[in-house]
Homo-oligomer: A and B are copies of this chain.
């Protein structure tokens, strides 16, 4: 029992540290956040953090890896389903916005702080992000092939522009806005899929 409780407490404290780091990295950036900032947020002295974590970079690795996985887990199953490409894209857009809205600060870390990963961990993160982009590319390619999407599309530019529009939502999206994330995603899909011209 004592061991179980200890493990539980330790894991809970680790989670608290990861959460504080996620919010601070998202708000102030990785290099703009000190271990003392994180310790203050958790309510512990700086040196005490190292009983629960390996170091500053290990925090970033965990947050980025977990964050990318959330996007992939939400979107890849939709991309690989059998619905029409246009339907899949709309659902992927909504799923993406739901992940961003679930925690915009985590999303900001995924989008911008991966640059500060070390030489070992950065390639894996870049690879996973590329896999995410590829999921959208596959569906766009399908859609062009079966004439759901415009034949003369520059597919690479279209995917990058679409993903940019989605990712930028972490800058302005507030988790407690009037519109639900799903409604927001639906409206963004309207603009991105159908355009804005009458």
Q: Interface of A with B (CB < 8 Å)?
A: 28-32, 86, 112, 115-116, 140, 143, 147-151, 153-154, 157-158, 160-169, 171-172, 184, 187-188, 190-198
* Cα-based distance from A35 to B188 in the complex (angstroms): 42
Q: Closest residue to A160 on the B side, CB-wise? A: B172
Assess the A148–B197 pair: CB atoms within 8 A: yes
Other contacts beyond A148-B198, A191-B195: 9, CB < 8 A:
A28-B31, A150-B198, A161-B168, A161-B192, A167-B168, A193-B195, A193-B196, A194-B195, A195-B197
* Cα-based distance from A169 to B168 in the complex (angstroms): 11
Q: Which residues of B contact A196 (CB under 8 A)?
A: 140, 143, 149-150, 153, 158, 162, 192-193, 195
Copies in the assembly, this chain: 2
Q: Closest residue to A112 on the B side, CB-wise? A: B112
Q: How far is the CB of A180 from chain B (nearest CB, A)?
A: 13
8 interchain pairs (CB within 8 A)?
A31-B31, A32-B32, A112-B112, A151-B198, A154-B187, A157-B188, A162-B196, A194-B197
Q: Which residues of B contact A116 (CB under 8 A)?
A: 32
Quick one: given A29-B31, A164-B166, A168-B165, are A195 and B195 in contact (CB under 8 Å)? yes
* Cα-based distance from A162 to B196 in the complex (angstroms): 10
| Most chain B CB atoms below 10 A, which of A32, A150, A157, A161 | A161
Quick one: given A32-B29, A196-B140, are A161 and B188 in contact (CB under 8 Å)? yes
